Structure 1
Amino acid sequence: MVHDPVTLTGARVVTPDGVHRGRVRIEGGRIAALEPDSADTPSGEVRDLGGAWVAPGLVDVHVHGGAGHAFPDADPEGALATVRFNRSRGVTSMVGGLVAATPEDTVRQVAALAELCDAGELAGIYLEGPFIARSRCGAHDPDLLRDPDTAEFDAWLKAGRGHVRMITVAPELPGALDLIRAAASSGVVAAVGHTEASYETALEAVDAGATVATHIYNAMRPLGHRDPGPIAALLGDERVTVELILDNVHVHPGAAGLVFAAAGAERVALVTDAMSATGLGDGEYTLGDLRVRVSGGEARLVETGAIASSTIVLPRAVRNAVEGLGVGVPEAVRSASSVPAAALGLAGVGRVEVGAPADLLVLADDLSVAEVLYRGERVE
């Protein structure tokens, strides 16, 4: 496809290194230049944004579904609908998240998502279970949880054809540290989560190669001043990128503010952990094999009342960070784009820089998404 040149002028552009005030030149679906508005008049379409923010397309590395579909369904058409739903709302890169399932179902799910990765629709595959603690299972079926097994992990790698990007492991489980080492040596990010780990065990996991904290606070041994547990270990270690679900349900704003204060925006990755109900409204849904009831946008398991997933799309988390926590717009945007992309080694996404794909958002004054460009083309 031939793309006509487009230039966005009068913009405040969030780049990896700061804020560029001027214009963005797009050619062939890529960013061709970042220039001052005083540069020579460009050819092609020119649009004056009047000082609006231009952000990189957002990157959600922890999401399970949306628009009535769920990645664990292993339905390529449904998964693609979830991708397109998110893309139209500003999330231009996604990692398809799975939950605990049988070994056979997990391989089938990974293989199905690998097809979308091959097609460039998904940026990778994330397995949140099954190697997590029963006592901190959250919205995972406890009967499907099991101890870490490197042979099963190898089966995921084979089915995923190089697209498995991240797994969550409870490091206190038998064999967990060996699995974390195997993941790290295979180029797969190991995340610490759904865990009863002590402070010391969490640090052992990081020493073994874990580099991400799965939705900090949630499904973790709580923070205590004499028993700090995994939360203090993960927040305090500069090697760790910390996921934060900022829907104002999973984490109170007061606790969320402590995450930014302790880790700094450069180590906080905003995620949604969103489920199939996202974009649809209240009602009953499923997450894996578990029934979920959504009321007032809040998702909880029918059987236990435990918080399940969120029902937000990632730009909402950016707004919550700015409006509720006082995080600067550039920092909040990076926490939802370049930070998670770097944590998972996703090259060429989540950054506004010359040569990168022109995946861009234009943000209105209230930080709502006014326009989405994907590979330089408007997304309707």
Structure 2
Amino acid sequence: MAPLPAPTPPDDAPGGAGPHRGSTGPDGSAAAPSRIAVRGTVVTEGLQLTDAVVVMEGDRIDYVGPWDVFARDADAGTYTVEELPEAALVLPGLVDLHCHGGYGVDFTASSREEIEAALPRLYATGTTTLLASIMSAPAERMVSACERLGELAGEGVIAGIHAEGPFLAGARCGAQPVEHLLGYDADLVDTLAGAAAGQLRTMTYAPELEGSDALVEQLVTHGVVPSMGHTDADVDTAAASLALAAEELESAGFDGYAEVPTVTHCFNGMPPWHHRAPGAAGAALDAAAEEEAVLEVIGDGHHLSPQTVRMLFNLLPEPALMLVSDGTSAVGLSDGTHRLGDQEITVSDGVGRTADGRLAGGAATLLDGLRSVVAAGIPIQRAVPAATSIPASLIGLADEVGQLHAGFSADVLVVTRDLEPLAVYRAGLRVEP
């Protein structure tokens, strides 16, 4: 194709370049190059570009910008042009750093073959990049899960692993099986990181547990981002731990990573905020306001009220928030009994609970959460980065996914104006459920 102006796009169009991750399909297999142009209203990086186009060449984005500029190029006719319904939006593929599974598959317990079969269905919901989250479980089960998922991450099928535990507070365990929670164990941390073969990206921990400072330091040494959560800590303990994690991450200088810790599903799995006892939630909000932490927000309308979500987006700076699904094996399935790690949960009206009534993960997709956040009154230009570029930056993928830029992976989500999915491309290939 004759050169398009991708290296020097118009002032109102995004551009840029990133390293290749290879021409792979949704299951990680080799794929033939494709040449596709998706025309519509492009939403990325806080911009909304009308009558624009995203041009995909193989597994890379080749150009993003005005349709008329693309149409004048001599080779434009060699591309398959996807003409979208009026008012359709083109977004970056979504990035989910907290997802336990979907379509009957649980990342802690299911086999590699089961996971590989379910992933295309998850990707077809619009989440083209995810960390596979594992639950607190017997050590051997967690190690085995890290081995399976580490292999998939090494092949580029998933982006890595999030361990939610086992170093969590029993008083705020939520759906985490309390019998599998442990005190700090340096040998187990080394074993999990080794089993994951460098693909353990984040770990949730409770800062009030003895040895938590050593845990934070050890995690950073392994290239793992500490994520405070499932904690009963007071505000001073939580604040000190977040500050330590930020200091350790900054000192380590992870290439491409955001140098701040995260907070696992803020407000959930911690004491309610109180004006005289702000607790871990208060410490998290304070750190986020200073851009010294990034808060996970489950936007499904059940874990947090729409008013709380709106407050967070209105009061905190953009880089301080990311949307997650906390999705379980129930995602994509009807109400009923489903699996979460080693236990069963019951989903009713889209809400999952354990046998004793505790809230148990999510049954909604990340796109569902994005839709709910926009419905709560947050402009789409503000909401989209929380589900794309911000989480991508936390795991070293800021130059690869989460934005519609020339040179980035061709991960593209096409939705209606009401944020209902129309088409999903992952590495330039159409993903079918």
Give the TM-score, by structure 1 length: 0.95
1:1-380 equivalences under 5 Å are 1-9=31-39, 11-16=40-45, 18-21=47-50, 22-39=52-69, 40-41=72-73, 42-43=76-77, 44-49=79-84, 50-209=86-245, 211-237=261-287, 238-302=291-355, 304-323=356-375, 325-347=376-398, 348-380=400-432
Change (3 A) 1:130 1:4: closer
Separation in structure 2 between the aligned mates of residue 134 and residue 47 of structure 1, nearest angstrom:
51
CA distance 1:256–1:17, change in 2 (3 Å): closer
* Aligned-partner Cα distance in 2 for 1:85–1:245: 21
Aligned-residue sequence identity (percent) comes to: 35
Contact 1:128 1:168 in 2 (8 A): yes
CA distance in 1, matches of 2:241, 2:181: 19
* SS state at 1:299 partner: strand
CA contact (8 A) 2:143 2:192 kept: yes
Report the residue type matching 2:388 in the other structure.
S
SS at match of 2:215: helix
Do 1:67 and 1:81's aligned partners in 2 also have CA atoms closer than 8 Å?
no
CA distance in 2, matches of 1:99, 1:146: 12
1-structure distance, mates of 2:422, 2:38: 14
- What amino acid is aligned across from residue 225 of structure 1 in structure 2? H
The 1:157–1:198 alpha-carbon spacing in structure 2 relative to 1, beyond 3 Å, is same
- Partners in 1 of 2:173 and 2:237 — Cα distance? 18
SS of the aligned residue for 2:42 comes to strand
Q: Which amino acid aligns with 1:340?
A: P
After superposition, give the CA deviation of every residue in 1:66-86 in whole Å (9 maximum; x if it has no partner).
101100114111222332111
Deviation of the 1:48 alpha carbon: 3.4
Opposite residue 275 of structure 1, the aligned amino acid is T
Instruction: Give the deviation of 1:241 after TM superposition.
Output: 0.7
Residue correspondences, number: 377
Deviations 1:259-312 (A, max 9, x none): 21232333211111111111111111221222211111111101x100111100
Which of 344-353 and 364-373 deviates more?
344-353
- Name the CA shift for 1:218/1:33 in 2 (closer, same or farther; >3 Å): same
Could you tell me which runs of 5 or more consecutive residues in structure 2 were left unpaired when the two chains were aligned. 1-30, 247-260
User: C-alpha distance in 2, partners of 1:71/1:243?
Assistant: 20
Residue 150 and residue 346 in structure 1: after superposition, are their counterparts in 2 closer, same or farther (change >3 A)?
farther
- Structure 2: distance between partners of 1:333 and 1:105: 35
The alpha-carbon deviation at position 17 of structure 1 amounts to: 5.4
Mapped to 1, the partners of 2:110 and 2:244 lie a distance apart of: 32
State the Cα RMSD in Å. 1.5
Q: Displacement, 1:51?
A: 4.6
Secondary structure (helix, strand or coil) at the match of 1:38 reads helix
Deviations 1:117-155 (A, max 9, x none): 122111000100110000000001111111122221111
1:14 Cα deviation after fit: 2.2
Greater mean alpha carbon deviation, residues 340-349 or residues 151-160: 340-349
Query: Quick one: which amino acid aligns to residue 80 of structure 2?
Result: E
Aligned partner letter, 2:45: P
2:360 match: secondary structure: coil
Structure 1 portions without partners, runs of 5+: none
Shift in CA distance, 65/23, structure 1 to aligned 2, threshold 3 Å: same
d(CA) in 2 for partners of 1:236, 1:82: 39
| Partner AA of 2:410 in structure 1 | A
